[in-house]
């Protein structure tokens, strides 16, 4: 199984120059081979394969533009293959014609392939060996085992650098368990499980959201395209990134815990959640978290032989008494947090009751 590991890297001055040069060369060959393909097709009505494009790069472009030889050769080939992907997509899926890459493109990255130990991680020293860069300082928050396939070096708009290592690894499946759980996704909390575990949204996110709002207000007072304007933009990008990282780390912890402890996991599909009218700013932020959490649960369940069920039909999970099945329409009002079943007198917490119903419905659907 192929698994990706992403780490922050801290290139020194020379390494930064080399990385920038590689980004530039990749963009250059991407554009040049795209133009070559377009031209050959226009003139000779001949289609050009990705291997042809690669030959063209090696034989013509590298001769004419010597500086292309200064960067990693795999990075150039992969840039050509990326161009080919965009091209194939255009034919097969009738997507737009591939665009030429601009210098101002925000997405900067290149991919290099493993060969003869050219990529290696030194977890003890906190360094990663990369072609043409030698040892780059890296922050390893977790180790990996297995055969490295490729490495993608990228730079995000705030200026930070990352490397994603693709590793062929043998996955050790989690042990089978007899426990099942239902999840009620919430706005105030991230979710509550049918056995009563509540996962809160990390408080730190609120802090950074407030900061983000402030930074955005300040931006509106800056003169557009001035130096301070761009400075402010960068601060905003860093803040966004911070929120994204905190959220992702937290969601990984939550999804890992839920998957480890349960064999069958049931949640509502997100369409249902979208029907909930909520005008809070928090809503859009929750959408991202819900989407990411359900995505992680999906693939982690698959990795570990678990079953993840999404209930997609409309289902009145909050209104039904999880003890006796009585439907209490008074609960439609979202402000009712706790209620007592008029029929069986069971006392319910709104979200916990919903989570229990979601589990029951999921198990019913699969039975
Ligand atoms: Zn009841």
What is the whole-number distance in angstroms between the Cα of residue 265 and the centre of ligand 1? Answer: 24
Residue 93 above 90 pLDDT?
Answer: no
Q: Assess contact for 144 and 5: CB atoms under 8 A.
A: yes
What is the rounded CA–CA span in Å between residue 184 and residue 266? 9
* Catalytic site residue from 170, 184, 209, 241: 184
Cα dist from 36 to 44, 49, 257, whole Å:
12, 11, 51
What is the whole-number distance in angstroms between the Cα of residue 182 and the centre of ligand 1? Answer: 19
Domains delineated in the chain? 2-168 (no CATH), 177-367 (3.30.420)
Active site residue 105: no
What is the rounded CA–CA span in Å between residue 313 and residue 361? 11
**pLDDT tens, residue by residue, 281-327:** 455 666 678 888 999 999 999 988 899 999 875 677 888 999 999 99
What is the whole-number distance in angstroms between the Cα of residue 358 and the centre of ligand 1? Answer: 16
Q: Assess contact for 206 and 36: CB atoms under 8 A.
A: no
Q: Assess contact for 153 and 22: CB atoms under 8 A.
A: yes
What is the whole-number distance in angstroms between the Cα of residue 325 and the centre of ligand 1? Answer: 6
* Catalytic site residue from 241, 268, 349, 361: 268
What is the whole-number distance in angstroms between the Cα of residue 348 and the centre of ligand 1? Answer: 9
Tell me the average pLDDT across 93-98.
Answer: 77
pLDDT at 196: 94
What is the whole-number distance in angstroms between the Cα of residue 92 and the centre of ligand 1? Answer: 55
Pure H helices in the chain: 13-44, 50-56, 62-64, 73-92, 203-220, 227-261, 270-274, 281-303, 350-366
Residue 271 above 70 pLDDT?
Answer: no
Q: Assess contact for 229 and 222: CB atoms under 8 A.
A: yes
What is the whole-number distance in angstroms between the Cα of residue 350 and the centre of ligand 1? Answer: 13
Q: Assess contact for 135 and 127: CB atoms under 8 A.
A: yes
Q: Is 152 helix (H, G, I), strand (E, B) or coil?
A: strand
Active site residue 122: no
- Which residue has 């050509």 as its token pair? 80
**pLDDT tens, residue by residue, 180-224:** 999 998 877 889 999 999 998 888 888 898 999 999 999 999 998
pLDDT at 244: 86
Predicted confidence band of residue 280 (pLDDT cuts 50, 70, 90): low
pTM, whole model, 2 decimals?
0.65
What is the whole-number distance in angstroms between the Cα of residue 361 and the centre of ligand 1? Answer: 16
**pLDDT tens, residue by residue, 30-50:** 999 999 998 998 888 888 899
Q: Assess contact for 110 and 23: CB atoms under 8 A.
A: yes
Q: Which two tokens stand for residue 16?
A: 């930064």
Cα dist from 351 to 252, 345, 361, whole Å:
22, 17, 15
Active site residue 268: yes
Q: Which two tokens stand for residue 359?
A: 């589990």
Predicted confidence band of residue 227 (pLDDT cuts 50, 70, 90): very high
* Catalytic site residue from 173, 261, 302, 351: 351
Q: Assess contact for 149 and 117: CB atoms under 8 A.
A: no
What is the rounded CA–CA span in Å between residue 112 and residue 234? 28
């Amino acid at each position: 199984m192929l698994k990706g590991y992403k780490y922050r890297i801290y290139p020194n001055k020379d390494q930064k120059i080399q990385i920038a040069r590689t980004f530039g060369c990749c963009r250059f060959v991407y554009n040049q081979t795209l133009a070559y393909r377009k031209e050959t097709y226009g003139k000779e009505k001949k289609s050009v394969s990705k291997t042809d494009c690669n030959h063209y790069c090696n034989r013509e472009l590298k001769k004419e533009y010597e500086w292309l030889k200064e960067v990693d050769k795999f990075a150039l080939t992969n840039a050509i293959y990326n161009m080919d992907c965009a091209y194939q997509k255009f034919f097969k899926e009738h997507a737009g014609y591939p665009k030429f890459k601009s210098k101002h493109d925000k997405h900067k990255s290149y991919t290099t392939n493993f060969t003869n130990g050219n990529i290696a991680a030194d977890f003890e020293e906190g360094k990663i060996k990369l072609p043409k860069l030698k040892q780059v300082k890296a922050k390893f928050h977790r180790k990996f085992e297995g055969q490295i396939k490729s490495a993608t070096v990228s730079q995000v708009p705030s200026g930070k650098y990352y490397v994603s290592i693709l590793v062929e690894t043998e996955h050790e499946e989690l042990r089978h368990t007899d426990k099942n759980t239902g999840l009620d996704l919430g706005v105030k909390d991230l979710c509550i499980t049918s056995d009563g575990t509540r996962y809160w949204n990390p408080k730190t996110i609120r802090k950074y959201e407030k900061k983000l709002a402030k930074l955005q207000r300040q931006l509106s007072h800056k003169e557009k395209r001035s130096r301070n304007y761009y400075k402010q933009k960068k601060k905003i990008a860093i803040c966004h990134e911070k929120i994204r990282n905190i959220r992702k780390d937290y969601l990984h912890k939550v999804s890992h815990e839920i998957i480890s402890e349960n064999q069958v996991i049931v949640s509502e599909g997100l369409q249902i959640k979208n029907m909930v009218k909520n005008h809070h700013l928090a809503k859009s932020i929750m959408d991202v978290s819900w989407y990411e959490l359900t995505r992680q649960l999906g693939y982690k369940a698959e990795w570990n032989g678990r079953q993840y069920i999404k209930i997609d039909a409309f289902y009145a999970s909050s209104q039904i008494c999880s003890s006796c099945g009585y439907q209490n329409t008074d609960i439609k009002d979202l402000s009712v947090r706790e209620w007592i079943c008029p029929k069986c007198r069971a006392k319910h917490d709104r979200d916990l009751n919903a989570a229990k119903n979601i589990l029951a419905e999921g198990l019913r659907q699969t039975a």
